[in-house]
Amino acid sequence: MADTSLHPDAVAALVEGRHGDPFAVLGPRDGRVRVLLPGARGVEVVTRKGAAPLSQAHPAGLFEGPLAETPYLLRIDWGGTTQEVEDVYAFPPLLGELDLHLLGEGTHQDIGRCLGAHPCVVEGVRGVRFALWAPNARRVSVVGDFNGWDGRRNPMRLRHEAGVWEIFIPRLGPGAIYKFELLDPNGSLLPLKADPCAWQAEVPPATGSIVVDTAAIRPPKPRARPPGMENQPFSVYEVHAGSWMRGPDNSTLSWEELGDKLIPYVTGMGFTHVEFLPVMAHPFGGSWGYQPLGQFAPHAPFGPPEHFQRLVARCHEAGLGVILDWVPAHFPTDTHGLARFDGTALYEHADPREGFHHDWNTLIFNLGRREVRNFLMGSAVHWLETYGADALRVDAVASMLYRDYSRPHDQWIPNIHGGRENLESISFLQELSRVIAERCPGKLLIAEESTAFPGVTRKADEGGLGFDFKWNMGWMHDTLHYMERDPIYRQYQHGGMTFGMVYAFTEKFMLPLSHDEVVHGKGSLIGKMPGDDWQKFANLRAYLSFMWTHPGKKLLFMGGEFAQWREWNHDRSLDWHLLDQAPHAGLQRMLRDLNRLYREMPALHALDCDPAGFRWVVLDDNANSVFAFLRFGPEGTPPALVVSNMTPVTRQGYRIGLPSGGAWREVFNSDAGIYGGSNNGNGGMVHAVAEPAHGFDASVGLELPGLSTLVLVPAEG
């Protein structure tokens, strides 16, 4: 009979938790069974023929003995309690050859349902299948309450083809908290790691991963969307879920409570979409989600993943689109996260000149590595498919595109051609756009990109990056710089309001007034406006009206719609009590009316990305700080004349050329009394006469209230 005893070195490796191939020595083989159960007093093998004790082969918990038949159970005496369970090491390999092949070549588009923890049934037994990419680890174990957090109990099987470790743990189910214990290539024990592909994480500061019934979270039915969003009204309300509104005790709202309050508010305000700052699990709330570690898990303090999925569904039921901020550029250095995950620079670059962001003290994803690209690609698809989000707004794209981003001249490495462009990131973003277009048709990608990089919204097959829209950061900075000036000096900054039209149609733009403009000492939007309180509100009304009528889709961060005085604080609710005061309520009402006008009037949205939709009428009146332009819609729809007076001086009889004579209706006036204004204007109607002006045969003399924006349309329209 063959000798089945283990070599002493193998025994030592097992009991010391150093053995890299436990399935080769544990479990059933050659009519015997061997188990490692540290802390067990005794073990019996239970079959249909009865129970038989195993002999202790090592005092650290190694037991072995004859196996009469299969299947079998292990009856374990833990010293006061007895457990009957299947032997982990009796189960076969789990991942199929196709999964391993796709993982190996970095093209597995369902990585979130392949790697991670997934309840399933194997050979009639319910349990959880774990899989983890860690190709350089010497040993990987699943640890949790279910095994006393002892890495010797459940070391995993390495599937060498893909560098993936796997194991099936019977009788485990949803709700179990777990982590991974790894030995690095030198055999040193690493800090316990959270699961990069977990669908749920513990509430910080706890750092464990939680098993979720992933099969029960089925992708929702795709939402019908109008084609060509560049021709549709697109008005976005940007929200930080933890501080939009809080409970009476300053507690954060759950996903369900947020849905109860946020959805009717946003739809009532007339926005078409809500955009959430990153909802992906993150260890530090002060990062607002922009330093995530859970690329597949909604942030735990708000509730379980199925509740977030329901929030998205409720938004859709109310006709509201959902955009999620998503961060594929970098990740935090927390030891339980992705940093040196298997003891090597696995997800990040090894060289800090490529792999470390000094601005944010974060690590940069190595997008030249196919498995890392696959991980992020899978995350993007996960949020769009599993949760039904309508778009991803990709954060910090500029930092991805340039190797010298925010680096001294001697602290970056050129690309293979000697240039500063990050070719790997460019390729990743192009591939991402192709995958989303094929896998998730109708879903959008929006870039937060602050440079003049060409072709951000050009199709990837045409040499662009493939985004659907790009945040126009230049417009935001230029116009805010203008509005912050005292009106007496605005004549010298006139180009701040007009320069955006020089490049307005080089990309498909979204005009953002985002969270970045109301933090870090920048104050609030209303706080940026000059003058006394009345002038501050008038300035902000005129500015937001200029923005809503300007070419480009719209985005406004929460609180801006009612002029919150205080700078945004992520640990506090917005100051909703301000709506008891008339100026704040008036501004909110104006935003509601602007959204309605924007949606209902094709001239204000249908040709946002087409130069045929815009014409300057008054471009160079810097002495009076007056701007006027026409917006056009599809043929057969009426144009709109927009006039802004950015001084507190009322202009009487200000003559403006018009494309047609006759009656024109004043359909919007930011100085209206119901908005908190002085109620000056043109009485709702004006009549153009045959007096040439600004290249037109007809013109009209308008009263332009101080610090106001007006919108007029032909009366017959």
Rounded to an integer, what distance in angstroms lies between the CA atom of residue 432 and that of residue 427? 8
Which residues fall within 8 angstroms of residue 306, CB to CB, at 6 or more apart? 216, 217
The answer to whether residue 336 sits within a structural domain is no
238 and 144 both lie in a single domain: no
The answer to whether residue 607 sits within a structural domain is no
Give residue 39's identity as a one-letter amino acid code.
G
The answer to whether residue 226 sits within a structural domain is no
- Given a contact cutoff of 8 angstroms between Cβ atoms, the answer to whether 444 and 391 are in contact is yes
The arithmetic mean of pLDDT across residues 310-323, rounded, is 97
448 in catalytic set: yes
The answer to whether residue 691 sits within a structural domain is yes
Residue 251 has pLDDT above 90, yes or no: yes
Asked whether the bond before 441 is cis by omega within 30 degrees of 0, the reply is: no
431 in catalytic set: no
Rounded to an integer, what distance in angstroms lies between the CA atom of residue 138 and that of residue 691? 85
440 and 528 both lie in a single domain: yes
- Nearest alpha carbon to residue 307 among 430, 187, 212: 212
pLDDT per residue as tens digits for the range 566-583? 999 999 999 999 999 999
435 and 540 both lie in a single domain: yes
297 and 440 both lie in a single domain: yes
207 and 265 both lie in a single domain: no
Angle, alpha carbons 205-575-596 (nearest 5°): 110
Least-confidence region, from 211-225, 326-340, 422-436, 612-626 = 211-225
pLDDT of residue 717: 54
The answer to whether residue 151 sits within a structural domain is yes
136 and 239 both lie in a single domain: no
Rounded to an integer, what distance in angstroms lies between the CA atom of residue 164 and that of residue 140? 10
Indicate the residue among 602, 624, 644 that finishes a domain.
602
The answer to whether residue 575 sits within a structural domain is yes
Rounded to an integer, what distance in angstroms lies between the CA atom of residue 4 and that of residue 12? 16
Structural domain containing residue 294? 233-327+380-395+429-602
Phi/psi-derived region of residue 662, left when phi > 0, alpha when psi is between -120 and 50, beta in every other case? left
Structural element, H or E, at residue 62: strand 62-66
pLDDT per residue as tens digits for the range 470-486? 999 999 999 999 999 99
Please spell the DSSP secondary structure of 381-423, one letter per residue.
HHHHHTS--SEEEETTHHHHHBTTTT--TTS----TTS-SB-H
The answer to whether residue 71 sits within a structural domain is yes
CATH number at residue 267: 3.20.20.80
pLDDT of residue 458: 97
Residue 1 has pLDDT above 70, yes or no: no
CB atoms within 10 A of CB 586: 20
Which residues fall within 8 angstroms of residue 163, CB to CB, at 6 or more apart? 104, 133, 134, 135, 136, 371
Residue 80 has pLDDT above 90, yes or no: no
> For every residue of 538-576, which 3-state class applies, written as one string?
HHHHHHHHHHHHCCCEEEEECCHHHCCCCCCCCCCCCCH
The answer to whether residue 375 sits within a structural domain is no
The arithmetic mean of pLDDT across residues 506-532, rounded, is 96
CATH number at residue 58: 2.60.40.10
498 and 575 both lie in a single domain: yes
Rounded to an integer, what distance in angstroms lies between the CA atom of residue 458 and that of residue 479? 26
111 and 177 both lie in a single domain: yes
512 and 583 both lie in a single domain: yes
CATH number at residue 646: 2.60.40.1180
- Given a contact cutoff of 8 angstroms between Cβ atoms, the answer to whether 61 and 38 are in contact is yes
70 and 101 both lie in a single domain: no
pLDDT per residue as tens digits for the range 594-609? 999 999 999 999 999 9
Indicate the residue among 188, 216, 244 that finishes a domain.
216
663 and 582 both lie in a single domain: no
- Given a contact cutoff of 8 angstroms between Cβ atoms, the answer to whether 399 and 329 are in contact is yes
Half-sphere exposure of 482 (CA within 13 A, CB side): 27
Rounded to an integer, what distance in angstroms lies between the CA atom of residue 144 and that of residue 177? 6
129 and 275 both lie in a single domain: no
pLDDT of residue 227: 63
Please spell the DSSP secondary structure of 649-679, one letter per residue.
SPEEEEEEEESS-EEEEEEEETT-GGGTS--
What tokens were used for 141?
């174990």
Q: Which of 395, 424, 478, 608 is catalytic?
A: 395
Question: What total number of domains does the chain contain?
Answer: 4
Q: State the residue for tokens 């908005």.
A: 675
pLDDT of residue 225: 66
* Cα 124 from chain centre: 39
Residue 555 has pLDDT above 90, yes or no: yes
Rounded to an integer, what distance in angstroms lies between the CA atom of residue 163 and that of residue 683? 73
Instruction: pLDDT band for 3, please (50, 70, 90 cuts).
Output: very low
Instruction: pLDDT band for 178, please (50, 70, 90 cuts).
Output: very high
What tokens were used for 237?
């309300």
Rounded to an integer, what distance in angstroms lies between the CA atom of residue 542 and that of residue 643? 10
Phi/psi-derived region of residue 527, left when phi > 0, alpha when psi is between -120 and 50, beta in every other case? alpha
The DSSP call for residue 310 is H
pLDDT per residue as tens digits for the range 29-44? 989 999 999 999 999 9
Q: Which residues pair with 27 in a beta bridge?
A: 34
Radius of gyration of the chain (CA): 31
Instruction: pLDDT band for 459, please (50, 70, 90 cuts).
Output: very high
Indicate the residue among 216, 250, 269 that finishes a domain.
216
Q: Which of 99, 448, 666, 703 is catalytic?
A: 448
